[in-house]
Structure 1
């Protein structure tokens, strides 16, 4: 099952995001094939203010565990994280 992690940063926490970015990216890369895609949301100022991460997980509990272990989450960057089951219906490279 795919899960979309919709993460919103706390206001005025850009420096924390920048300081934690390298370990966050290392963590995402360590997920291997479980990570489908990821990237930041951008504000009107074109600066990151949240994240979209799509992962494959056995169930919601496993998706929550992946989200909780993200270095951004551990550092307290996010004001909220919404985890939702997601169906990749269009342009899914696994459906050739």
Structure 2
């Protein structure tokens, strides 16, 4: 089942996010084949990172929560709030979709 992780950073945590990001990306790479989508949540300026949104397939909620507990941003204390929700993707992904510039 796909689980969506909605994760919001603590205020003034940009330096922590930057410092831990290489470890976070390595952790994400380990589940890349099970990932529906992932990326930072941004402020309206399109640059300032405010959190993370990930959708990853896990066998159970317990497995999803265990993964998040060991994820580097979580271990570093980056997030002010987090939620993990089951998700069903009813719309196929657009081929060649590119973010707005």
Common fold, TM-score beyond 0.5? yes
Please give the TM-score of this superposition, normalised by the length of structure 2: 0.86
TM-score in terms of structure 1 length: 0.90
Q: Distance in 2 between matches of 1:63 and 1:52?
A: 14
- In the TM superposition, 1:22-37 aligns within 5 A as 22-37=22-37
Pairwise CA distance, 1:91 = 1.1
Q: How does 1:14-25 map to 2 (within 5 A)?
A: 14-25=14-25
Name 1:62's counterpart in structure 2. Answer: 63
The alignment yields a C-alpha RMSD, in angstroms, of 1.4
**Displaced runs of 4+ in structure 1, greater than 6 A?**
none
Query: 2:44 and 2:69 mapped to 1: Cα distance?
Result: 28
Residue 30 of structure 1 and its aligned partner are, at CA, apart by 1.1
